[in-house]
Chain A
Amino acid sequence: MKKLFVFLAILFLVSNAWAQEPSVDEIVAKANSSSYYQGKDGLAKVNMVVTDAQGRTRQRQLTILKLNIKDGADQKYYVYFHKPNDVKGMSYIVWKHSGKDDDRWLYLPAMDLVRRIAASDKRSSFAGTTFLYEDISGRSIDLDAHELLSSEPGFYTVKNTPKDAAPVEFFFYTVKIDKNNFIPMKAEYFDKTGKLYRIIEALEVEDIQGYPTITKMKATDLNSNSSTVTEFSDIKYDVNLNEDIFTERFLRTPPQQWLKE
């Protein structure tokens, strides 16, 4: 009887300790939410500088508007290109869906053409940078199996292995997540041979309207020896974006009030 009591006491202590440590699924869900779903909507000016192996640079400047439709799942994005000059004025809409392909439209003002974009490959480069589409709009957490590798002071490290390896170029990736705010600070991608070939890291995190937000991040492709640094500025959350903005009307007539240079 005494033994049983001790056993129960230990069980209680242990389970209590477990309760303090969230499950890996909770960690991943929180990290996903803090990186892509802050606020009910938001916007930012984005400046991307791509540096190739020879040190030559290219610049991309855009404004991104974002509206959360369903937390952790469906979202709508509006992207307006400011630079480079040959794509200035182009606009782009993404209706991100969980569980099926996103809907994407591109507007080419020179031809007044609204083009529907077939885009099932989310592992392709975003606007010619080292970032991929999935880095910008998020990768559905249901696509990977998650495993908590370590829980050090300050950080969790989670290993993510794709459930279906066919559509992705990585074998697995690990993400180091800040325990305080669940911001993913560093993601490392490994190929079949176990070689690290791709790194995404948060360089600066700021508090914006109470939401911890990455304001500077870097993607490095170790194979091509190229990298892209992205800086977010003029970040605003909860500005009451109208869902109508994410339609053909505003592709053709960019929403002035949100796109000030």
Chain B
Amino acid sequence: MKRALFLTAVIIALAVSSANAFELPEWHGFVEQSFGVRLSQDDLTKHSGYNLLEQRVQLKTRYAIPGVNMLSRWNGVFNFKGDFVLDEYFQTTGSYDVRDLNLAFSPASILDIKVGRQVLTWGTGDYIFINDLFPKDYVSFYIGREDEYLKKPSDALRLSLYPKEVNIDFVLIPYFTPNTMPDGDRVSFFDSFQGGITGRDTDNNAVKPALQAKNMQYALRLYRTFGSTEGAFYYFNGFDPSPRSYLDEQNHQLFYERLDAYGASVRGPFMGGIGNVEMGYLHSRQDAEGDNRLIENSMLKWLLGYEKDLGNDLKVGAQYLFEQKLNYSEYKAALLSSDYFWDEYRHVLTQRITKLYKNQTVMLGLFNFWSPSDKDGYLRLSAAYDISDQWKLTVGFNLPWGEDDNTDFGMMKKNKNAFMRVRYSF
């Protein structure tokens, strides 16, 4: 955090020092108050009545490097975006969250470079990620923060190459950033060490890969369009961003197992809408045979999606996700009788409906996950009103449910909430 503050100070100093000769960069952002009340009391967590109460100030700027120098010739742009958060849930004195702190430039006509802290996204899914193995914040997702906060930034170097035949994105991530997963303080979850849904009583801890050259992550995307259709290949070499494997059962330690992912996607016009297909083979290098009960197996994932504009500002979408745990017989044979076990196949269906009213100033949205195999689901409802160009009010519900306690959505069932956000943009 000190580093982030220091860097921010440096940027502001840079910006101000050049202000005499050049235009001051514009600063924009917002001030937001959010509140999320639990729909059922959850005594497992720190506060049984609510799970979101915070004030947030976001500041951002885009600064085109001025003057006559190499960076300005290369269209260099400095990007900064940072949030200052007063999180009353944890009664902290305030924390700083730098989301963008990077320099983007084009040293050659077919090359773009972006270095520094940045949000990275690719793939075709709607709230479903197969080949996008960049870090996410699922706590933000479940408690009702803006969608932006589902994505966490990475400290990375991104090289984008644009030769004639195919576009290439190469991302190097020297420092591992894990997903933010429920940890019991704010959002209860299934803890296999405790044998059920757990809150603050959890004592598990996830061990991050050490900062070493061999632990550097890299990701590659090759993509191009064929007429109106987009095709892409993906490769990822790094770690599972969620701690799914056991390092030390005695001491309740989890870890992020190595992960190699190979995938492909196609997206384009289909039956009057947009269709997409994405697949990924997720290879678990440390349990290639699938016979280690402590380490996550390799997986195969398929996603089919479709979105259509029905007119009158009404859009609908649907997706089908298929997941298969590979080497399932080896996995089953290795399990102990006391182990929790997961099914070989998982099917998830999603539905999205978005309707706009009043010259697009009022938005009603529904997004539903439903897994017939896990017998669980998660309904997200929201309504947003752009009161003016500055003021925006958003209300919504997060409604996860499930028959079992150890499935993805089922474990979240005690975290149903209703939330409200008021934002002033400037």
Contacts and interface: CB of A to CB of B under 8 A. Distances in A.
Interface of A: 50, 52, 56, 58-59, 83-86, 88-89, 95, 97, 100-101, 103, 110-114, 116-121, 123-125, 127-130, 167, 224, 226, 244, 247-249, 252-253, 256-257, 261
A125 B313 contact: yes
Interface in B32-87: 62, 64, 75, 77
A244 B30 CA distance: 33
Given A118-B307, A128-B360, A226-B359, A112 B121 contact: yes
B148 A111 contact: yes
Nearest to B276: A116
A113 to B, nearest CB: 5
Interface of B: 26, 28, 30, 62, 64, 75, 77, 104, 106, 112, 118-121, 124, 147-148, 150-151, 160, 162, 167, 223, 225, 228, 230, 267, 269, 272-274, 276, 307-313, 315, 317, 359-361, 386, 388-390, 392, 423, 425-426
B296 to A, nearest CB: 27
A194 B148 CA distance: 47
A59 B151 contact: no
A111 B309 CA distance: 23
Contacts of A167: 311
A167 B310 CA distance: 10
Given A85-B426, A256-B77, A101 B388 contact: no
Nearest to B30: A86
Contacts of A129: 359
A52 B386 CA distance: 13
Given A85-B390, A125-B360, A249-B160, 8 more contacts: A85-B28, A103-B228, A111-B150, A118-B309, A121-B311, A121-B312, A248-B223, A249-B112
Contact of B392 (A86, A97, A249): A86
Contact of A56 (B26, B230, B315, B388): B388
Given A118-B274, A123-B311, A244-B162, A112 B118 contact: yes
The 9 closest A-B pairs by CB, nearest first: A128-B360, A84-B389, A121-B311, A110-B148, A86-B425, A112-B121, A118-B274, A112-B119, A118-B307
22 contacts: A50-B359, A85-B390, A85-B425, A86-B30, A88-B28, A110-B119, A110-B148, A111-B147, A111-B151, A112-B120, A116-B124, A116-B267, A116-B276, A117-B274, A121-B311, A124-B313, A125-B359, A127-B360, A224-B359, A247-B225, A248-B223, A256-B75
B266 to A, nearest CB: 11
Nearest to B360: A128
A249 B77 contact: no
A120 B147 CA distance: 25
B308 A52 contact: no
B309 A120 contact: yes
A253 B104 contact: yes
Contacts of B228: 95, 97, 103
Contacts of A247: 225
Given A103-B269, A226-B359, A249-B160, A118 B426 contact: no
B389 A124 contact: no
Contacts of A117: 274
A33 B54 CA distance: 54
Contacts of B124: 116
A32 to B, nearest CB: 23
A95 B119 CA distance: 27
Nearest to B153: A112
Contacts of A52: 359
B100 to A, nearest CB: 9
B272 A101 contact: yes
Contact of B361 (A89, A116, A128): A128
A118 B359 contact: no
Nearest to B317: A118
Contacts of B106: 253
Contacts of A103: 228, 269
A218 to B, nearest CB: 16
Contacts of A113: 121, 151
Contacts of B276: 116
A86 B274 CA distance: 26
Given A103-B228, A112-B151, A125-B313, A85 B269 contact: no
A111 B121 contact: yes
Given A103-B269, A249-B162, A256-B64, A124 B274 contact: no
B389 A116 contact: no
A121 to B, nearest CB: 4
A149 B121 CA distance: 54
Contacts of A248: 167, 223
Contacts of B269: 100-101, 103
A28 B30 CA distance: 47
Contacts of A128: 359-361, 386
Nearest to B123: A113
Contacts of A50: 359
B392 A120 contact: no
Contacts of A249: 112, 160, 162, 167
Most buried by A among B148, B317, B359, B392: B359
Nearest to A103: B228
B140 to A, nearest CB: 12
B136 to A, nearest CB: 11
B311 A120 contact: yes
A110 B312 CA distance: 27
Most buried by B among A97, A118, A244: A118
Contacts of A119: 309
Given A85-B389, A248-B167, A256-B75, A120 B272 contact: yes
Contacts of B389: 58-59, 83-86
A252 B273 CA distance: 24
Contacts of B317: 118
A185 to B, nearest CB: 25
A123 B28 CA distance: 32
A91 to B, nearest CB: 13
B75 to A, nearest CB: 5
B70 to A, nearest CB: 15
B309 A121 contact: yes
